[in-house]
Every structure is written in structure tokens, then in C-alpha cells.
Structure 1
């Protein structure tokens, strides 16, 4: 009798992030710095707009692409904040989180055997969505000495006749690295000449700390090759609302909308009304949270470097990616021993790709008190390693 499960699905590895999070949940007294979710609640005025929509009977399906009012707000937001220009009617699709947007992009673009470049380290969901679409992930190494930026020569070398697309994520989960406009200027000619598509996951765009956010979609010469993924989870503390969107040229947007029609219909109505309020009146909330994240970042990076774990200053997101190679432990060994001996949960760097080995990811989307206590425990752990 044949196995009923799709062999591609059978081969997928469980998320390395969830593995340690689930293990930590079975233990008492654990400080978990593993999951990338804001510790702030969704601002109340955003919740109120969702409640008002329910109280006034707005409890039905929206258009497949999402509420036109929301799509208009998204496009206006991107024009003002990021200097990106998109048509709300033909180039904008509201999705169930950024995760659905990534899946739609892969299924709309990738045919069996197509190669898709992924940056390594990278967010854990990218390679599986490529494989589920029949594509072949091609990882390229990001190096600590380059602050985990995408280097032009590395990209040029990775592109072949089979390359269909590349997926990037800046500011980066897990490294906190960013790309500046000047960095992108060096790779735009490569993208233009090769004709590849770029899926640009910009979910942390509002959490850029030390310089203005930059995007490939700001370059007119390659704009039609760029698919911008964004959403409301990280910046507006709306993880549970499950709302994202994708901006792209009209042809690709139409293809993604067809898939979305059949598998989703439309994103949650109340979440869409909440998102309208977030875009129109929520930036002050974002700035408040962002200031808090920067204080936490500075504390955590200083503590880690002082205790001997070399850590680049992340210029975005709410993650640090310290180098633990001096301990002589693998990423898995380090995280397992730290959890067992000091009850601090982090994520091994190899959960984010082969070149994440030798690092761990620590999220600072937690209170200052939790971060201080976790640092004390990590320092004690390191001290005991040397005895």
C-alpha cells in the first residue's frame, strides 16, 4: 500500500524555532528569548476599529483582494514612507499574514525544477515554501564580517540559467542586518540583466533603527521584477490578527489573486478594519515601541560583547545573532545546555540554514527585566563552561 503523504511534505523538517519554544514550555522558570513576537499588546484604538466594524454589521466577506479602503491606505503608506508606487486596484493583494503572501508568490512564479536563491542564514519558512512549489532552494552565504549583507559578487556567481527568483529579507530575521540604498545600487544591475524576480520580505521595514529603510522596489529599472511582502504583525504588534499583503506588477498580482481566491477567499474582515486604523493613526505607537526595542538592543548587545560573545549591532528587527564559536559547542549543543543548566531558551543558528551554525538567535521582544536576568544566566553559563 502506498504512503498517503506527499513525499515533499514528508521530507520537510519541523521548525527549529518551535522545537526549543515547545521544549521550554514544558519546564518551570524558563526565560524564553526564542520566539519573534512583540511583547506589546495591539494598541487599543486599533482594536476598537475592529470592534466598531463588528458592531455595525461589517462581518461579511470582503473583495478577494481585500477592502479597497485598506488597499488605498497601504499604497498611500508605501508612497509616503518608502517612496514605492503601487496601484491599489491592480497591484495590491491583502493576505492572511505575510506568510500567505510568500506562499502565493512562490506558487505563482515557480515551476518544477526552477532554482530560487535564498540568503543563508534566512527565515525558516523560505526553503520549505520553495520546495512545496516544486522549486529548488539555492542558498548563498551571508558573512558576519559583511554584517550579513548580500554582496554583489556572491549573487552574480549564484545565478544560473535555471534561476527564477530570489527571496530576501531586510531588515533580516535572524541577523538584524540591513541593506542601504547604496548596497542595493550595487546589485540592481545584476537583477536587471538576469531578469530574475526578487521576493522582498519587508515585514520589519518599520523596525529600521539607525538609517532610513531602503527597498529594491524604489528602483524604477527593476520595480516590475520585485514583489514586496509586508504586513502588520511586527511593527504594529498585531501577530494574532494574521494580516499581510503583497505588492507587485499587475500580471503577477492577478496570478496570486487567482490562487488566493481558491484557497482563502479573503482575509479576515475585522483584521482589515483594524489595519486601516493602524496605517492611518498608528505610527506614534510604532515609534514608542521602536524606542523601547532600541534600548533593549543596546543593553543586550553590550552585555553579550562584554561577556565575550561577539555580536554585531543589529540595525533592524528585534533579534541579535551572537557568535558562539569560541565556546567550542555547536549551536544545538549551546542552546540545549543553556536551557538545561540555566533555563534560558534561544534558537540555534543552524535553524536558519547551514551558515547559521556557530551562532544563536536571541529575540529582545521581551521586557528589560527579562533580558537582564537572561544575560546574568548566560554569563554564569559561560563562566561554568570554562571551569
Structure 2
């Protein structure tokens, strides 16, 4: 398969923190989001009808998948789409159609939805994107209907099943997207690896929260497998596989995707503690009360004294921690230099990804789009 024309003219500043922000319009996000949402809407409407035909009581389950999948930045499908555009031979009559590829990459949103629902259960999170987390919502439904048994246990059980269903449906949407059997066969190894990695990463996160995988290295291992792979690296590789690109292209996707995916997750960690709740849709206290053992936390422990570590230990994972105590933790993260070090790593990993994009044998429009996405994904406010 012939790859696209090498991109030209992408300027990458070598100084961390001084990256020029390209026009995000290059990524054509409005069109991509509209196409992904149309694909999800059509598919989930059919699935809802299927469940309703089985039993009317299943409709809330389908509606919850719709609600969880109905919001988001759609970055994963965007990375996959531009991975395809970057390596596809536009003159090949056997190339997949734009419409089929967009439906196929929309399936990534259902994998993401599954991970969010399960992650909220494990973290005992109260909210997600400005609405009750799935397990909280179903616990409320149990109480409202005056059902028997424990409402919280019902909510957790229902959320596990909602997440499982989203994962099952992701397979079905990929298979029924309209891509050719040959393209589906090429995509499956990447797809399977991605779903294995994100599940393994969830376990590593659980293990780290229990005291395993200590220190900054442990935090970065969790970030790689829980988020970095399935956010950027594997979506890029999925697109390249749909294009029929070979092993060299998959390595290019890794060179771009791993540093960029890590930077994306580290930005998420910073926003989880220092973000504006009106923008992020969740409290800036939740990650601390849930005890998320991020790189930001690990570097704070490393960079403070015994008194600072005692403050952190008392607040982290303490659902009863008050606002003053949590503000003290935020201040400690700043004073210890941890926040600065995380921001420096975000900038450096973003720079590495942009250098890799600039050097990659990508079609010019895909190079510009991926560079714009790289900056948007790591400098976002939500």
C-alpha cells in the first residue's frame, strides 16, 4: 500500500511550554463529531429497540449507554480517522470509503463509554460529565421504585452490566460499519490489543490504589496502559490498519501515540485536581477524595517533607476530607514542585509527539490535523 505524501512545513518549537498552537480547524472536528454522533445515534437507536423488544424494563439500560456515549470530545475517533487518512492511498479503488471508516471509528466511543462506567464504579465516583455516575443513577432508580435489597449494590451491579454492554456493542458497531471484510480482518489485531490493554490498565490502577506499583514509575505504567494506548496510539494504528498500511506505519503511530497519550492523561490528572468544575463537569475534589494515585500525587510525595506526606495521606482517599484540607493538598502540590514537573512532562511529551508527526510519512492534511489534535488534547481545559 502506498502511503500519502510527506507533510511539509510543520514547525515544532524545541522548547517545552512554547509550542505554537495550530488552528484546530485543520482537524475538521465539527464534521467528524457530527459523523460519529450520527453513527452512534443510528446504531444505538436500533439496539434500544432490540432491548425494548426483549423487555420494556431493559430500556433504561439502553438509555444509560446512550447517555454515557452521548457526550465527549470524540478525540479517539478523530485520531483513528486521521490515522487512516494519513496512510491511505486515495487513488486505490479498493480503499475504504470515508463514510464506512467514520462509522467504524465511532465504535471507539463505546469502548471509551465502557471504561468510564467501570472506572466510576472502581473509584466510587459520584458524577460524570455533569450527571450522576451510572452506578449512582441506578441506585437512585432502585430507591425510587422501592425495590428490594441494597440500592448501592443494585447500582454497582447495573453499572457493571451497562459497561459490559457498551463493550459488546462496540464490537458489533465495528463489524457492521460497512468496512470490507479485508479491512475488518486487518483492524481486529489492533482492536483486540487495545481492549486487552485498557482492561489490564484498569487492574493496574486498582493495584496501585491498594499500594502496589509505587512511585512515579508505577503512575506512568498505569497511565500508559489505562489511557495512553487506547486514547492515541491504538486509534492511530486502527486507522493505519484500515488503510492497509504495514508494520512500519504501526511503529510511526507508536512514536506519535505513546508520548501524546501520556501527555493527554497527565493533563486529565491535572484537571482532575486543578480544573474548573463548571468546565470539566466534575468537582475538583473528587480525584483527591477518591484517592487517585496519579503522577501528580507521586511527585508530591517525593518532593515534600514528612508533614506534607502526612497531610497528603490524611486527605487522599478520604471521602470526609473538607475543602480547607483539600485546598491544602493543592497548595502542597504547587509548593513541592510536583505541578510544575507534571506540566514540564506534558510539554516535553507533546513536543516529542509533534516531532514524530513532523517526521512521519503522512499525507499533508493528516499531518496538519494530527499536529492540531496534539496541541488541543494536551492544552485543553476539560
TM range (shorter): under 0.3
Larger strand proportion of the pair: 1
Compute the TM-score of the two structures, normalised by the length of structure 1. Answer: 0.23
- Structure 2 length as normaliser, TM-score? 0.23
Structure in which a larger fraction of residues adopt helix = 2
